[in-house]
């Protein structure tokens, strides 16, 4: 972060960079969870064809999109809220202090 500030990235640019990274992580989490949940649901409904008490009954896969969108919105909102304070603090910190913090981490 200190190198970016030293190269001329503005405070607001650094703030936006951290917020964008947090939101991208949230989007990836939502896509991966949707993919895994759909796959698990599809496999689960396929298994019911062979294990169901009634025998041979085909169970349709129903995806509740409205409830999923609420959950995805909450997940992205949580990612945004979790990134606001670190983004604000990093944007307000002077470049020299950011560079010094990077050296002490190794």
Q: Round to whole Å and give the CA distance between 89 and 86.
A: 5
What average pLDDT score do residues 23-41 get?
A: 95
Residue 24: domain span:
19-89
At 102 the pLDDT is 63
In a domain, 38, yes or no: yes
pLDDT tens across 38-93, in order? 999 998 888 877 776 666 677 788 899 999 999 999 999 999 999 999 999 888 88
User: Structurally, how many domains does the chain consist of?
Assistant: 1
In a domain, 49, yes or no: yes
At 95 the pLDDT is 77
pLDDT band at 25 (very low <50, low <70, confident <90, very high): very high
Q: Round to whole Å and give the CA distance between 75 and 29.
A: 9
In a domain, 99, yes or no: no
């Amino acid at each position: 972060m200190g190198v970016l500030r030293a190269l001329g990235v503005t405070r607001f640019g650094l703030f936006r960079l951290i917020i964008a990274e947090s939101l991208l992580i949230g989007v990836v989490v939502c896509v991966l969870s949707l993919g895994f949940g759909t796959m698990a649901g599809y496999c689960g409904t396929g298994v019911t064809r062979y294990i169901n008490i009634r025998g041979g009954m085909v169970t349709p896969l129903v995806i509740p999109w409205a409830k999923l969108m609420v959950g995805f919105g909450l997940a992205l909102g949580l990612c945004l809220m979790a990134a606001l304070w670190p983004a604000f603090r990093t944007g307000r910190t002077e470049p020299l202090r950011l560079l010094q913090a990077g050296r002490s981490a190794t």
